[in-house]
Amino acid sequence: MKILLCGLMMSASLLVASPVFAISDAPPRPSVGLALGSGGAVGLAHIAMLQVFDDLGIKPDRITGTSIGAVIGALYAAGLRAAEIRDIFDEFGGSRLDALSRLIQLDTEPAVTEILQVDIGEGGLIDSSGFLSFLAGKIEARMFEDLVIPLEVVATDYWTGQTVILREGDLFAAIEASMAVPGLFSPVRRGTMLLIDGGASNPLPYDLLTGRHDLIVAIDVTGSRAPEENDRLGFTDVFFSTLEIMQQSIITEKLQRHRPDIYIKPETSNIRLLEFNRIEMILHQSRPSAENLRRQLREFLDEKSEENDRSQPADR
C-alpha cells in the first residue's frame, strides 16, 4: 500500500511540474509573408511600408525581394527598423544620379564618388562594390544564416532567362546579383550562371510566398510616368523607363493569374532610376499608400482576432 501511495504521489507531482502537460490558451499568431519589388530609387517607398509594420508591431515571417527590394529587405531582415533604414538612405542620397546622363559628372562629394564609381566594362557602367561595402558597414549579417528574418533574394540567369532564388550563403553576393540592372551594373557569375537583375524575370516575387503564409503582402514600386510641359526625354530616360514598362507588364500578367492578399502600389511619378536624393519626395508620395496598408493590416488583425474569439469555448 505504501508503495502504491508513493507511486501515485510521484505521478501527480510530475503532472504538475512537467511543462509537457501545459496547455496554452493563446491562439497561434498568423504568419505574414512580405514581397518587396523592384523599382530603383522609387523603391525607397518600401521604407514607408516597413514603418507601418513597425508601428503595428507586426514582424514578417519571411521576406522576398527583387533588386532594391532585396537591398531594403536585407537591411530589415538583418534587424534594422524602418527609421534606421531611412537614415542609411538619407546618408547615401547626397547624390543626384539621374541614371547614365550624369555618370561622367558625378557630385564632387567624396562619399558619393566612393560609393558609386564609373567602371565601363564587364557588361556594366557602374561599379557597385562601393555601394555594397557601404551597406555592409550598416549591419553585422554577412550570410543569409545571420539574418533575423528569413530572406529570399531574386535574380535572373542571363543565359536561360529563368528566375533564380538565392536564400543561403553570401548575402551581399546575392544582393549584387539581384540589383545588376542590365547596362548599368555588371552581371554576377555564380557557377555556370550569369546573374542579372531579378526584375528581368520576377519584379514582384509574391508568388514565392504562396501557400506558405496566412497573409501575403506585396509592395509594387515600379512607379509611373506622366507627361510634363517642355519635358525632353533623354536616352537614359527612355531606356530605363522601357525596362520599367516591361516589369509592369510582368506584374500585370501575374496579378491576373493570382493576387496577393494585400497589394500596394505607391503612386510615385517622375522619379528616375538613381535619384536617391529625392527620398523626401518619394516618402511623401508614398504616404497615402502607407495608410492604405495600415488600414488593411489592421482589418486583417481584427478579423483574425474575431475568428479566434469565436473558436474559443464559451465558458472559459
- In tens, the pLDDT along 201-236 reads 999 999 999 999 999 999 999 987 776 666 666 666
238-269 pLDDT, tens digit per residue, is 777 888 899 999 999 999 999 999 999 999 88
Closest CA to 82 of 59, 116, 61: 59
3-state helix, strand, coil in the chain (%, to 5): 50, 15, 35
Q: What is the pTM of this model?
A: 0.83
In this prediction, residues 92-121 reach a mean pLDDT of 46
Rounded percentage of the chain residues whose pLDDT exceeds 90: 59
In this prediction, residues 162-175 reach a mean pLDDT of 98
| Rounded-to-10 torsion of CA 123, 117, 238, 69 | 90
Listed range (28-32, 211-215, 273-277) with the worst mean pLDDT = 273-277
Q: pLDDT value at position 234?
A: 67
> Can you tell me the distance from the alpha carbon of 47 to that of 28, in angstroms, rounded to the nearest whole number?
28
Beta-strand pair 193-197/32-36:
unpaired
Residue of 29 and 258 predicted with greater confidence? 258
> Can you tell me the distance from the alpha carbon of 176 to that of 186, in angstroms, rounded to the nearest whole number?
9
Listed range (83-92, 183-192, 234-243, 254-263) with the worst mean pLDDT = 234-243
User: Mean pLDDT in the chain?
Assistant: 83
> Can you tell me the distance from the alpha carbon of 226 to that of 247, in angstroms, rounded to the nearest whole number?
17
262 contacts: CB under 8 Å, gap ≥ 6? 215, 216, 217, 218, 293, 296, 297, 300
Q: pLDDT value at position 11?
A: 45
Q: Is 245 left (phi over 0), alpha (psi -120 to 50) or beta?
A: alpha
Burial class of residue 15, CB neighbours in 10 A (0-12, 13-18, 19+): exposed
pLDDT beyond 60 at 271: yes
